[in-house]
Amino acid sequence: MFAPAPCYHSDVLIVGGGIAGLVTALKLLDSNLSLIILDRDRKDKLGGLAKESFGGICAVGTPLQKRMGIPDTPEIAWEDWKRVARFRREDKWPKAWAKRYVEHSEKDIYTFLTELGIRFLPVVNWPERGMLQTANSLPRWHIAWGTGHRIIECLLKAIHDHPNRNKLSFRFGHCVKNITIQQGKVCGCTGTMEGTGRPFEAHADRVVLSAGGICGGNLSRVRRHWPGHLDKIPSRLLNGSHRFADGLIHDAAAAIGGKVDHPDRQWHYAAGIPYPKSLIENQGLSLVPPRSALWLNAKGERIGPLPLMGYTDTGYIVERLCREEEPFSWLLLNRKIALREMAVSGCDYMTAFRHRKFLKMIRELLFGNRELTDRLIRESDDILTAATLMELGRKMQEKTPEVPLNMKAMEKAVRAYDRQIEWGPSFFTDDQLRRIAITRKYRGDRLRTCKFQQILDPSAGPLMAIRTFILTRKSLGGIRTDLKSRVLNGQDSPIPGLFAAGETAGFGGGNMHGKGALEGTFLGGAILTAHHAAGSICKGE
């Protein structure tokens, strides 16, 4: 005899315990409703991707910006957002969510987090200034002290301390596969347990989908829906998303009439390396590419005509690299550049930030991050070092024997770049150097960007070459929702009882970012959409 399938009952079911699911739960605890979070992952992974994230938050018009004299307003941010998103006239809900974001990020995201106990670093960062056109015209990337890990810690503490805490229960290892519907109204979901495959069912009048995006899993969705504007799918892609970000929930929503928009809008990164010592197949680690490194193609030729510069324009760089023949490229730099500029997107390797070691962070800012550089060199097979360019070239060729290295072109590019630095800023024609000069004028970037560092400077060695791959990350498209976070069908009508938040909902409206992002809007978008989902449920929507 088989034991009967587990059967759960609550007022609200939340599918996915990432940041979107947890914020929804925290807000709903105020309402006295009973809640269950069903998550496919293990208990120690509660918090999803946010727990591994660096915790950069895009917010507009914050006290921190004001203190730094940054004259940002929702109007300026809205113009930036539209330029990058390239919305079409019919993108009604994405536009509405994006506008909501820029107008409410200060209160609903920044203040919400500070009230949870999050402190932000006193200097606002400035990624994504744009290559061909301006993206962020002002700095608005606020770094949560303690990274995304701390955000999740604070959220869990707030849930734990809530007077209605016992209204919420968690079911881990539960993979939701179907949403159940009766007489046109959602009434629960069904699925199977991870590992055993044992079925379960859960019943509730309202179901919130917050199960993340589609850019993870075995990457089959990434490949199937590869963005049309990117030339070709690189033969090797690294997974920088969740191992369960496989689109199962998108299919479940579509099966009951939910509209899923733009699976081909994907936000990937250009400087991925295989995650050292990872147990997850094909997992990638996303480096923040040093601005002073030269970006070379697989043959060692500098990519152009516009030289690529890290941290400037993710969309452009990925697009440009996908036009290359080979699936990898090289970052060429030296130890001095690495010490000052190398960083990792995520919290594992950024230990001073993750563990809130203020003095350590200041030391690393002033004297360079030796711990990070040495650890990466030690752990990664894709980071090569050498005393001379000849030796480095030999090692690069050994690493990738299938692609002949154009040593002459590499040496010529490096010497031309170094010569301009020798001549001095008055004679810069190299676009990368001109950008570095401007970048260093912003207080938040001066310390983190070398002052025109020659690559072959003998006192700055050894030389380094990093082999990088495209790394998948965020799904910009998702399940379409209105401003109440209600899931909409193809006729734009809400499906009664069904809500979506976070990456599952394309961070709002099925595609809040349109075609590109200003960065830091993912954690923020997850928080915002979760607030709206919970608010609507509390109001009895």
Ligand X SMILES: Cc1cc2nc3c(=O)[nH]c(=O)nc-3n(C[C@H](O)[C@H](O)[C@H](O)COP(=O)(O)OP(=O)(O)OC[C@H]3O[C@@H](n4cnc5c(N)ncnc54)[C@H](O)[C@@H]3O)c2cc1C
Site of interaction with ligand X (CB under 6 A):
15-21, 38-41, 48-50, 52-56, 148, 174-176, 210-212, 240, 242, 244-245, 248-249, 345-346, 474, 502-504, 520-524, 526
Closer of 114 and 406 to ligand X (Cβ): 114
Contacts of 457 (CB under 8 A, 6+ apart): 334, 336, 418
* Nearer CB in complex with ligand X: 297/529: 529
Phi-psi category of residue 184: left, alpha or beta, with phi > 0 → left and psi -120 to 50 → alpha: left
Q: Both ends of the chain: CA-CA distance in Å?
A: 42
* Ramachandran area for residue 448 (φ above 0: left; ψ -120 to 50: alpha; else beta): alpha
What is the closest distance, in whole angstroms, from the C-beta atom of residue 149 to ligand X in the complex? Answer: 11
Nearer to ligand X, 149 or 302 (CB): 149
What's the min distance (Å) between Cβ of 312 and ligand X? 16
- Hey, what's the torsion of the CAs at 431, 433, 439, 440, to 10 degrees? -160
DSSP 18: B
Half-sphere exposure (CA, 13 Å, Cβ side) for 348? Answer: 12
- The answer to whether 475 touches 266, Cβ cutoff 8 Å, is yes
Q: How far is the CB of 211 from ligand X (least distance, A)?
A: 4
Residue 208 CB, nearest approach to ligand X (Å): 11
Contacts of residue 448, defined as CB under 8 A and 6 or more positions apart, other chains included, come to 340, 341, 365
- Between 297 and 519, CB nearer to ligand X: 519
Nearest distance in Å: CB 137, ligand X: 19
Beta carbon nearer to ligand X, 55 or 146:
55
Q: How far is the CB of 290 from ligand X (least distance, A)?
A: 18
Closest CB to ligand X among residues 248, 322 = 248
Shortest Cβ distance from residue 443 to ligand X (Å)? 21
Peptide bond into 462 cis (omega under 30): yes
Do 476 and 267 touch, CB atoms closer than 8 A?
A: yes
Question: Which is closer to ligand X, CB of 147 or CB of 454?
Answer: 147
Cβ neighbour number for residue 153 with a 10 Å cutoff: 17
With 0-12 CB in 10 A as exposed, 13-18 as middle and 19+ as buried, what is 365? middle
By the 8 A CB rule, do 455 and 420 touch?
no
- List the structure tokens of 430: 């190299």
Residues 6+ apart with CB under 8 A from 478: 213, 214, 250, 260, 261, 262, 500, 503, 504, 505, 506, 507, 510, 511
The Cα–Cα gap between 97 and 286 comes to 28
CB of 525 to ligand X, least distance (A): 7
Helix ranges restricted to H, 162-310: 220-224, 248-255
Shortest spacing between CB 477 and ligand X, in angstroms: 13
Q: Specify the residue, 523 or 534, whose C-beta has the smaller distance to ligand X.
A: 523
- Residue 163 C-beta: closest distance to ligand X, Å: 25
Judged by CB, which is closer to ligand X: 432, or 485?
Answer: 485
Which CB atom, from 317 or from 455, has the smaller least distance to ligand X? 317
